[in-house]
Amino acid sequence: MVEPAMTTVITDINIQQTLESMAAEIRQTLAGKQPLLIGIHSGGVWVAEELAKILGSEFFDGDLGVLNIAYYRDDFTRIGMHPQVTPSDLPFPVEDRHLLLIDDVLYSGRTIRAALNEIFDYGRPASVTLAVLIKRNGRELPVQADIIGHTLELTTRPDRLNYATPMASNLSLKIKETQHD
Amino acid sequence: MTNNQLTESGKLKHFLTIEGLKRDLLTDIMDRAEQFSSLSGRQVKKVPLLRGKTIMNLFFEDSTRTRTTFELAAKRLSADVMSLNINTSATSKGESLLDTLHNLQAMHADMFVVRHNESGAAEFIAQHVAPHVSVINAGDGCHAHPTQAMLDMFTIRRHKQHFPDLCVAIVGDVLHSRVARSQIQALAILGVGEVRIIGPQTLLPTDSQTLGVHVYHDMEKGLKDVDVVITLRLQFERMQGALLPSPQEYYESYGLTQAKLDLAKPDAIVMHPGPINRGVEIASSIADGPQSVILEQVTHGIAVRMAVMSMALGSQPEQQDKTA
């Protein structure tokens, strides 16, 4: 890949603060429902793990489920087979349960569409609540998040949005817009 | 054989033979099969990966297991699949193979799964299909049966993990077996420690030396300390002339019995590509016994074929919309 010609820091988010306010909202929304926690591979899993730490293991019923939507994407005929795929692992039956679905970024809505399709192949949940760390503009499907950590409005359409998975020692997230020659 | 089964970037376009493929690709097939295996525990055992694709199984030769598992694999990937028994349809009315092919292609097929009694049939078809069509060899004459070999490798890996540490014995009619040929190639590519072929002189290939295998005519010696025993069916339909005294006598010498199996390692697994002839190449008690993984092989056939089909159809997405 060519070196980015220009990098602009768009936003600088305090992750810990954002996660804590998301956790508070989750607690309010799902208290007493014994929800099951599902993270979308890969970014959503990290966010789900962090939220589980804040909310405590007793809030959720069972271990973290991981959803890898590679086989449910709508771009197979355009971009072909993905490289190595870690299979989804939902270590619980979803039938009639309340699910909390976590992803890092909500953008077009296509990932969530694929995730919902996959979840329903496991069974019929009672409800699905979607929480995302970042919601950015550019939605292409009628998919909305219930709980949003941070909303990002981008006026230009960058060809690539970079954001690094934050390190535990440095819980801040810088979102940069990069443009190539 | 030239490797026209790969795209320019080295991805699987057709799957015609194991010969000439790289270890990474075979490992990739097994890894993907492992991922697809996890679907069997779900309420809905399918994924929408090949939705809208049309797969045609062209069987010019009888098959139960292979055809059924290919069909099931295509269905689990959400493709539209149909199986054509060509012997009883168009060709019996005098249509040539290529005419049949072009007609099926005009129905917008994306993949042909081909079984034929002539060696090289699948490759011939692959040379004549439109650029967007993939061809999978489901067995051609005595030449190759690559998906069977891969499901066998997958089964071995599930039980034994590390190929370089293994000694694998293939017993019986190796000469007429496309399965054995493909297995020997796959085992070599995966770096297996040792491959032995065991059988009467008349049923072993004359080019054994070039296959890189050790040849045994004595079961007792050949099975000593092996990790995997693969028994093969006597392919009477392909035998020309008197290669065998009688099935009974064959069983005496080369049939897998408990006494013979006891010479292998205690945790050795017993495999057979099917259909099995009980009391000819294998004792019933072994086929149904604790060391047998024969039915597992059948189950693994679905996931391995899903892997191969999705890899071939996902290897050249840009040419998607071209028609015949």
Q: Which chain A residues have a beta carbon less than 8 Å from that of B42?
A: 121-122
With respect to residue A178, please indicate whether it lies within any of the assigned structural domains.
no
Most confident of A74-83, A168-177, B32-41, B310-319: B32-41
pLDDT tens figures, A47-67: 999 999 999 989 999 899 999
Look at residue A181 in the predicted model and tell me its pLDDT. 43
For position A145, which CATH number holds?
3.40.50.2020
Residue owning tokens 């059948």? B298
Look at residue A168 in the predicted model and tell me its pLDDT. 47
Look at residue B9 in the predicted model and tell me its pLDDT. 87
With respect to residue A171, please indicate whether it lies within any of the assigned structural domains.
no
Shortest CA distance to B119 belongs to which of B148, B138, B143, B146? B143
Look at residue B314 in the predicted model and tell me its pLDDT. 87
- HSE-CB for B62 with a 13 A CA cutoff: 3
Residues B117 and B150: beta-carbon distance below 8 Å: no
Look at residue A177 in the predicted model and tell me its pLDDT. 61
* Domain of residue A70, residue span: 15-153
Q: What is the ipTM of this complex?
A: 0.71
Residue range(s) of every CATH 3.40.50.1370 domain in chain B: 23-144+299-319, 146-294
What tokens does B257 get?
């019995």
* pLDDT of A170 higher than 60: no
Residues B196 and B229: beta-carbon distance below 8 Å: no
Please give the mean pLDDT across all residues of chain A. Answer: 84
With respect to residue A177, please indicate whether it lies within any of the assigned structural domains.
no
> Rounded to whole angstroms, how far apart are CA atoms B63 and B97?
19
Output the pTM of the full model. Answer: 0.86
Q: Report chain A residues touching chain B, CB-CB < 8 A.
A: 71-72, 76-81, 84-89, 117-118, 120-123
- HSE-CB for B188 with a 13 A CA cutoff: 16
With respect to residue A160, please indicate whether it lies within any of the assigned structural domains.
no
| Amino acid identity, position A63 | D
The superfamily (CATH) of domain B146-294 is Aspartate/ornithine carbamoyltransferase (3.40.50.1370)
Q: ω into residue B245 within 30 of 0, thus cis?
A: no
Residues B228 and B154: beta-carbon distance below 8 Å: no
With respect to residue A7, please indicate whether it lies within any of the assigned structural domains.
no
- pLDDT-based confidence at residue A6 (cuts at 50, 70, 90): low
Chain-centre distance of CA A145, in angstroms?
A: 10
The mean pLDDT value for A36-40 works out to 97
Look at residue A71 in the predicted model and tell me its pLDDT. 87
Q: Report chain B residues touching chain A, CB-CB < 8 A.
A: 11, 28, 31-32, 34-35, 38, 42-44, 46-50, 52, 310-311, 314-317, 320
Look at residue B290 in the predicted model and tell me its pLDDT. 98
With respect to residue A2, please indicate whether it lies within any of the assigned structural domains.
no
Look at residue A176 in the predicted model and tell me its pLDDT. 63
Q: Is the pLDDT higher at A14 or at B225?
A: B225
For residue B53, what is the nearest residue in chain A, using CA coordinates? A77
Look at residue B242 in the predicted model and tell me its pLDDT. 67
Q: Is the pLDDT higher at A159 or at B109?
A: B109
- pLDDT-based confidence at residue A96 (cuts at 50, 70, 90): very high
The mean pLDDT value for A98-126 works out to 94
Strands (DSSP E) contained in B61-208 are: 80-85, 111-116, 134-140, 167-171, 194-198
CA angle A169–A36–A126, rounded 5-degree value: 145
For residue B11, what is the nearest residue in chain A, using CA coordinates? A81
Look at residue A2 in the predicted model and tell me its pLDDT. 46
Look at residue A163 in the predicted model and tell me its pLDDT. 57
Q: Is the pLDDT higher at A161 or at B228?
A: B228
Spatial strand order of the sheet with A98-106 comes to A65-67, A36-40, A98-106, A127-136, A147-152
The mean pLDDT value for A70-75 works out to 85
Low-confidence ranges of chain B (pLDDT < 70): 1-3, 88-94, 241-242, 316-324
Q: Which of A71, A78, A81 sits opposite B47 (nearest CB)?
A: A71
| Domain count across chain A | 1
With respect to residue A63, please indicate whether it lies within any of the assigned structural domains.
yes
- What CATH number matches the domain at B23-144+299-319, 3.40.50.1370, 3.40.50.1010, 3.30.70.920, 3.40.50.460? 3.40.50.1370
Q: Which chain B residues have a beta carbon less than 8 Å from that of A117?
A: 48
> Rounded to whole angstroms, how far apart are CA atoms B71 and B57?
8
> Rounded to whole angstroms, how far apart are CA atoms B324 and B108?
7
